[in-house]
Each structure stands twice: as C-alpha cells, then as structure tokens.
Amino acid sequence: MAKGNLVSEKIMLLLGLVALQLCYAGFHIVSRVALNIGVSKVVYPVYRNAIALALLSPFAYFLEKNERPPLTFSLLFQFFLLALLGITANQGFYLLGLNYASPTFASAMQNSVPAITFVMASVLRLEQVNFRRRDGLAKILGTIGSVGGATVITLYRGPPLLHNNYLTQGSSILEMDDPSIKVQNWRWGCIYLLGHCLSWAGWMVFQASLLKKYPAKLTITSYTCFFGLIQFLVIAGFVETDYQYWKIQSAEELFTIIYAGVVASGIVFSLQTWCIHKSDPVFVAVFQPLQTFLVAIMAFLILGDRLFSGGVIGAVLITLGLYSVLWGKSKEKELEEEDKCLKHPLLDTQKGDKEDNVVSDIP
C-alpha cells in the first residue's frame, strides 16, 4: 500500500513538473501574442503585477501572520531594490527582447540563468568553487557552455531549419527585407534577453540573502510585486501618456493579461513551490529545457516562427551547460552530506572522551 502511494506521488510530481513547464511555455507564446496585437510593453507588466499582487497578498497576510519579523526602513529599501531587479528590469528586458527575438530563443536563453547565478554567487563569495573536485569542474564547464551558447545565439543566426508558411502580423519586425536590419534587430533582442537573464540571476542571489533576514517568502514576493508595480507606473507616467494604451480593447488582450497575472504569476508560483517541496530545486530545474521544447512547437504551430540553426546550436550548448551546473550542485550537496555523516560520530566520540577525562580528574 505504501509502495502504491509512493508511485502515485511520483506520478503526481512528474505531472506537476510538466504542467509547470507548460504554463511557462504558454506565457512565452501569450506574451508574444500580446506584443503582436499592440499591447504596450509597459502597460502589460502593470496589469500583470497588479493581478499577481491581488492574488498573493491575502495569502501572505494570513499564512505568514506569525512568521513575519518586524518591518524596518532598511528592509523596505531592500524590497524596493529586489523589485527593481526581479520585476522591473527582469520583465522589462524580457519584453524588449521578445519584441525582437522569438519565444523559443527567449526560453532557450533562460536556461543560462543557473550558470549566471553560480557566477554571481561565486564573485560575492556566497558559493564556493573547488577546482580540484569533479563537482567544481562541472559547474565551471557548465557555466562556460551556457555563456558560449548565449554568445552563439546572439552572434550567429544561421540558416533556417524549419519554416511555417503562416506568419502573424507581429512577426514583420523579424521578417524585414533588409538582412542587415533583420540581423541587427535579432542581436538587440538577444542582448535584451541577456539583460533579462542577468537581472533574474541577480534577483535570485539577492533574494537568497534577504530570506535569511526575513524568512517569509510570500510576504517578500508580495512586497516585490507592490514595488515593481509602483516602478512600472512611474515609467508608464513618462512613456505611455495616451489613455488609449490602457484600454483593453478586445477579448484577446484581456486573455493575455489574465494569463500573465493569474497563470504566469499566481498558479506558477504555487505549483513551483509545491514541486520544490515534494522534491528539491535541482530536480525541478532539470525539467526546464522541456519548456524550450514546448515553446518551439507552440511558436512554430501558433505564431509561424522559423527555427534557425544558430539558435539550435546555442540552445543545445546552454542545455548541456545547465545540466552540468545542476550535476555539479547535486554532487556538491551529496559530498557535504557525506562529510557531515562522517564528522558527527567523530565529534560525538571526542566529546565522550573529553567527558571521561573530566570525570577522572574529580577526586
């Protein structure tokens, strides 16, 4: 009976991980559709974060009521900076990149985030690198592979591999007659997406250190959404002054905004938290390349995107780099646990010897 429950739990976990990547893949496609139909790059994240804040803040208030440490001005300032990285820069660069590049390559570039996070954590001495061990070498080689893949995607587009005759109205920016303009736009898209990955990695490193001081994840996420919303509203005050950009003019626009707020922010956050709780962050990250595969299929069928050889080569390098970094992290964790197991009995024995010596000294 217990074995049957274990099997069913594993099946539920696998289904949850596939559903998580499907939700992420859908967000890439929905975001591109939103840009294609003329939704503003500033208004879109404003609505998204407003919906996310409305969904998450009640849960944060009631579930973490007794866990929240006292709020200080220093913490509020750190929440503001976290929002600047994780919401404003992250989502802003993503939409700018998606406007010039394809959803498939946006998803492929995101696979480099663990490697970039590792580099940032190493520079800040939050992550230790042992060059003499296999796990340390795997993380270094994985980082090189991910960076190399991102460079290939940016600098080399290559000939198309697959082509769908159906092209959407918004794909004209990538299908201009002038090849030099086309390549320039593509590279700008990849550079913006690299900025998206850098800000995402910085947000993860910053959040990890902040959680040690303020261990209330839902509350931190709610404050991040709140300050991100304020920051985007300030930007919108300068960029989108025309009231027409704020009006939702079709059911298609409404769907993209609701999907971004409810699914991409609310459901994805809950599902990812559940999956990590049932397994671990490394196991969840292993499924990330599945998202790229799903996006490639959906973008080809729905948007009529073309698949280029340079993007495929870069995506393969990034995926190999991702798995190398994840393997190194997993191996490092195993070695740390083995060291703890070996040290504890030795410490207990030494403690016992000391206690015997103390007793023998008493007359």
pLDDT for 232: 95
pLDDT per residue as tens, the chain (363 positions): 456 666 687 788 888 888 999 999 999 999 999 999 989 999 999 999 999 999 999 998 998 888 888 889 999 999 999 999 999 999 999 999 999 888 988 888 888 888 888 888 878 877 777 777 887 888 788 888 877 887 787 677 777 776 555 444 444 444 444 555 556 687 888 899 999 999 998 998 888 888 888 888 889 999 999 999 999 999 999 988 888 889 888 999 999 999 999 998 888 888 887 887 777 666 677 788 888 888 888 888 888 877 777 778 888 888 888 788 878 877 777 777 777 776 655 445 444 444 443 333 323
Cβ atoms 308, 162 nearer than 8 A? no
pLDDT for 302: 86
Give the span between the Cα atoms of 329 and 128, in whole angstroms.
Answer: 11
| Cα 149–Cα 164–Cα 177 angle in degrees, nearest 5 | 75
- By the 10 Å C-beta count (0-12 exposed, 13-18 middle, 19+ buried), 202 is classed as buried
Give the span between the Cα atoms of 41 and 92, in whole angstroms.
Answer: 7
pLDDT for 175: 46
Relative orientation angle of helices 217-239 and 90-100, to the nearest 10 degrees: 60
pTM comes to 0.79
Cβ atoms 31, 258 nearer than 8 A? no
Distances (CA, A) of 136 to 35, 129, 291: 41, 5, 27
Give the span between the Cα atoms of 127 and 147, in whole angstroms.
Answer: 18
The one-character DSSP state at 279 is S
Give the span between the Cα atoms of 11 and 110, in whole angstroms.
Answer: 26
DSSP states along 146-191: HHHHHHHHHH----EEE--S---GGGGGGS-S-HHHHHHHHHHHHH
The helix/strand/coil state of 78 is helix
Pairing of β 307-308 and β 160-162: antiparallel
pLDDT for 224: 93
Token code pair at residue 143: 């980082």
pLDDT for 314: 82
